[in-house]
Amino acid sequence: MKLSLVKKNNPEHLLSQSVQSISPSGIREFFDIVYSTPDCISLGVGEPDFITPWRISDSGIFAIKDGCTHYTPNRGLPRLCSLVAKSLQEKNGVEYNPETDILITMGVSQGLDVALRSIIDPGDEVIITEPCYVSYTANVTLQMGKPVILTTYAKDNFKIDIEKLKALISPKTKAIILNYPSNPSGGTIERDVLEKIAALAIDNNFFIISDEIYSSIFYEGEHFSITSIPEVRDRTIYLNGFSKSFAMTGWRLGYIAGPKFLLDQVLKIHQYTALCAPSLSQYAAIEALEKGDGDVEKMILEYKKRRNYIVSRFNEIGYPCRMPEGAFYVFPDISPSGMNSRDFALALLKVQKVAVVPGVVFGACGEHHIRCSYATSMENIREAMDRIEKFHQSLGKQ
């Protein structure tokens, strides 16, 4: 065979263009470096440091012993679907039929994936507010949709400007993705803003994808879900799960709630690509919903102590840091360092062995921010903040 023909028929040319167009996860890419750094204190991992409460873990163990190791119905265990529907009724005042309006997924990540697949055709536009979780833009791109970025800013507490949102809506707008409390800022969206977004969705006929995975980790007041607005119940795709609230990240379990006409389509994708969520995780989740609220409350009390401490320390050091309403992240402004977020994070890791996530991975507006998770022990947080303070002081001596 001629060498020129081999080059022409290179199988690399067969790769998906949409996959090639996206970058690897900025979080995971950065932590490949972290894992090779001994004695590092990490404020980067977005998962609870608590272990899954034993009563929940025991339910998974007992499920194995009892032989509950087979496929479940595609939608999920009927009992679990009923408990999810009951929980949403109690928390958000919204009725969902557990037989038609609920689907148990392999985490919120899979829920987002199948939700987008069910609504996006090539060229459809999806509005995404930045800073945001890294997978939103990538997932829209993978479905051959067009991400349309609505930038929010620290000076506005990362709040959505409704007039700017209106300007982004077009005949091709298929959905908007909302995440509140937010990863990475910990901010929420007030009820009056959600009501305005709901009105825009109705007037312009697009879906709302509401990622509320951190809704149980809320510190002051009460979380308000956009699903509680009756007029948009049937155009809202609600995403939530068990990872953050019940410290069940490794169990990989979430759920979607939405109208039957939508869930019928989502179910088809789920059937062909996943069959069902892990059975053992579903049995554990039943225990979580029935008896886990006390464990969640204990975790929130501890998170709140850590939040108050880390915010005060960043502000004392000279890096402006707003008080998050929920989740377990802070997003301080490191502009006084004179460095961009990636250089700051790499230098901090090298000099003081503290790992944080560069804010730029959450959108260009995060260029002068870092994301720090306080889902680690207070001892680690104190030591990390002492090291960050030393790092900041050393910058002035250069």
Together in a domain, 136 and 248:
yes
**What is the pLDDT averaged over residues 176-185?**
97
In a domain, 397, yes or no: no
pLDDT confidence of residue 45? 80
Together in a domain, 305 and 379:
yes
Together in a domain, 19 and 76:
no
Structural domain harbouring 357: 3-51+295-392
Strands 254-257 and 102-105: antiparallel
Peptide bond connecting 38 to the previous residue in cis, omega within 30 degrees of 0 = no
The count of domains in the chain is 2
Residue 356's CATH number: 3.90.1150.10
In a domain, 348, yes or no: yes
Three-state SS across 208-252? EEEECCCCCCECCCCCCCHHHCHHHHHHEEEEEECCCCCCCHHHC
Asked if 250 and 357 count as a contact pair (C-beta separation under 8 A), the reply is no
How far is it, in rounded angstroms, from Cα 76 to Cα 114? Answer: 15
How far is it, in rounded angstroms, from Cα 103 to Cα 273? Answer: 14
Q: Which tokens hold the place of 203?
A: 């007037």
Together in a domain, 210 and 328:
no
What value, to the nearest 5°, has the Cα angle with vertex 194 and ends 190 and 197? Answer: 145
Together in a domain, 304 and 269:
no
In a domain, 43, yes or no: yes
> What digits encode the pLDDT tens for the residues 227-281?
999 999 999 999 999 999 999 999 999 999 999 999 999 999 999 999 999 999 9
Q: Pick the last residue of a domain from 269, 291, 313.
A: 291
Helices and strands counted in the chain (H then E): 14, 12
How far is it, in rounded angstroms, from Cα 12 to Cα 174? Answer: 32
Q: Which tokens hold the place of 65?
A: 């012993």
Together in a domain, 278 and 332:
no
Q: Which residue has the higher pLDDT, 40 or 180?
A: 180
pLDDT band at 14 (very low <50, low <70, confident <90, very high): confident
> What digits encode the pLDDT tens for the residues 289-326?
999 999 999 999 999 999 999 999 999 999 999 999 99
In a domain, 63, yes or no: no
Together in a domain, 179 and 274:
yes
Q: Pick the last residue of a domain from 229, 259, 291.
A: 291
Three-state SS across 163-179? HHHHHHCCCCEEEEEEE
In a domain, 58, yes or no: no
DSSP structure string for 133-198: -THHHHHHHHTT-EEEEEE--GGGTT---HHHHHHH--TTEEEEEEESS-TTT-----HHHHHHHH
pLDDT confidence of residue 50? 94
In a domain, 47, yes or no: yes
Which letter, b or e, does each residue of 157-184 get, where b requires 16 or more Cβ atoms within 10 Å of its Cβ?
ebebeeeebeeebeeebbbbbbbbbbbb
Together in a domain, 245 and 132:
yes
The 3-state DSSP class for residue 42 equals strand
Q: Which tokens hold the place of 177?
A: 């993705």
Q: Pick the last residue of a domain from 243, 261, 291.
A: 291
Is the confidence at residue 3, as pLDDT, over 90? no
The answer, as to whether pTM is greater than 0.75, is yes
Q: Which tokens hold the place of 380?
A: 């680690």
Together in a domain, 45 and 80:
no
Q: At what angle do helices 135-142 and 107-119 cross, to 10 degrees?
A: 40
Q: Which tokens hold the place of 332?
A: 């301080």
Together in a domain, 285 and 232:
yes
Together in a domain, 307 and 275:
no
| pLDDT, averaged across the chain | 94
Spacing of C-alpha 184 from chain mean position: 8
Together in a domain, 143 and 220:
yes
DSSP structure string for 79-105: HHHHHHHHHHHHHH-----TTTSEEEE
Residue 139's CATH number: 3.40.640.10
> What digits encode the pLDDT tens for the residues 322-372?
999 999 999 999 999 999 999 999 999 999 999 999 999 999 999 999 999
In a domain, 211, yes or no: yes
Say which residue the tokens 């833009």 belong to: 137
> What digits encode the pLDDT tens for the residues 52-62?
999 999 999 99
Is the confidence at residue 376, as pLDDT, over 60? yes
**What is the pLDDT averaged over residues 69-84?**
97
Which is it for the CA torsion 168, 169, 174, 179, positive or negative? Answer: positive
Strands 236-241 and 254-257: antiparallel
> What digits encode the pLDDT tens for the residues 270-293?
999 999 999 999 999 999 999 999
The 3-state DSSP class for residue 345 equals helix
In a domain, 398, yes or no: no
In angstroms, how far is the first alpha carbon of the chain from the final one? 60
